[in-house]
């Protein structure tokens, strides 16, 4: 099925088939994020997403196959977004403890700036509450995060700025759970003082992980 685009796209430069596919997938994912964050999970039907992106409902099905395929593509998109943010902030060049605290800042400071994180946790809550098949995709996503945080901690241990006796895996899981809790609390109550919670978490990590503690 051919892409059904809005009239505004007719003036765009001619793209290759691969470029059109990449663009349509990106725009459908971005539309999904907007629909979920603004209207809720139940509103994110293929028809609504296609309309929001300016494409046909059939194209959403063609690109992703099913709701599970869409969710997995969306999660991959969000991990790409996170990787770009980590690269931009040069997290890899920091010592382990500083990088871990910067990771916490990245997740907390973007709470009100991007639809990405809001939509992710709304979809996560729905998957758990309704026992959806997509719950497995979120479990895989959280495993990726755990491994990423653990690698930061282990880098700090190798560099001497994080205590060597710290259980890197347990601390990574604890940090991820704390960030998830902050996200969910912010969804429940947008007036939550995230800065105060963020600073308390960072202070706790520094006190527990620093070699001088």
pLDDT band at 5 (very low <50, low <70, confident <90, very high): very low
Q: Which domains does the chain have, with CATH numbers?
A: 1-65 (1.10.10), 71-213 (1.10.357.10)
At 115 the pLDDT is 66
**What's 13's DSSP letter?**
P
Indicate yes or no: pTM above 0.85: no
pLDDT per position as a tens digit, 107-142 = 888 766 666 677 888 888 888 887 777 888 888 989
- Token reading at 114: 């991007």
pLDDT per position as a tens digit, 59-87 = 999 989 888 888 888 888 888 888 898 89
Instruction: Tell me how far apart the alpha carbons of residues 111 and 32 are, in angstroms, rounded to a whole number.
Output: 18
**Mean per-residue pLDDT, 192-209:** 96
Burial level of 57, CB count in 10 A (0-12/13-18/19+)?
middle
pLDDT reading at 13 higher than 70: no
- Token reading at 60: 């959403």
pLDDT band at 189 (very low <50, low <70, confident <90, very high): very high
Task: Find tokens 């995709």 and name the residue.
Answer: 137
pLDDT band at 1 (very low <50, low <70, confident <90, very high): very low
- Token reading at 165: 């006796």
Neighbours of 147 (CB within 10 A): 11
At 201 the pLDDT is 97
Instruction: Tell me how far apart the alpha carbons of residues 46 and 76 are, in angstroms, rounded to a whole number.
Output: 19
Helix (H) or strand (E) holding 111: none
- Which DSSP string corresponds to 133-193? TTHHHHHHHHHHHHHHHHHHHHHHHHHTSS-TTS-HHHHHHHHHHHHHHHHHHHHH-TTS-
Instruction: Tell me how far apart the alpha carbons of residues 208 and 191 are, in angstroms, rounded to a whole number.
Output: 29
């Amino acid at each position: 099925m051919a892409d059904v685009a809005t009239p505004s796209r007719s003036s765009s430069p001619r793209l290759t088939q691969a470029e059109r596919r990449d663009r349509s997938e990106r725009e459908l994912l971005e539309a999904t994020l907007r629909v979920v964050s603004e209207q809720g999970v139940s509103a994110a039907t293929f028809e609504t997403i296609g309309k929001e992106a300016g494409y046909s409902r059939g194209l959403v099905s063609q690109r992703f196959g099913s709701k599970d395929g869409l969710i997995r593509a969306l999660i991959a998109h969000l991990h790409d977004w996170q990787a770009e943010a980590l690269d931009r902030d040069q997290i890899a060049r920091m010592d382990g403890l500083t990088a871990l605290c910067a990771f916490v800042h990245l997740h907390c400071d973007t709470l009100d700036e991007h639809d990405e994180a809001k939509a992710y946790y709304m979809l996560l809550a729905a998957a758990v509450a309704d026992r959806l098949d997509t719950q497995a995709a979120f479990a895989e996503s959280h495993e990726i995060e755990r491994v990423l945080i653990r690698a930061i901690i282990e880098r700090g241990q190798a560099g001497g700025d994080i205590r060597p006796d710290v259980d890197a895996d347990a601390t990574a899981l604890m940090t991820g759970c704390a960030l998830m809790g902050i996200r969910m609390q912010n969804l429940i109550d947008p007036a939550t003082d995230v800065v105060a919670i963020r600073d308390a978490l960072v202070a706790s990590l520094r006190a527990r992980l620093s070699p001088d503690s």
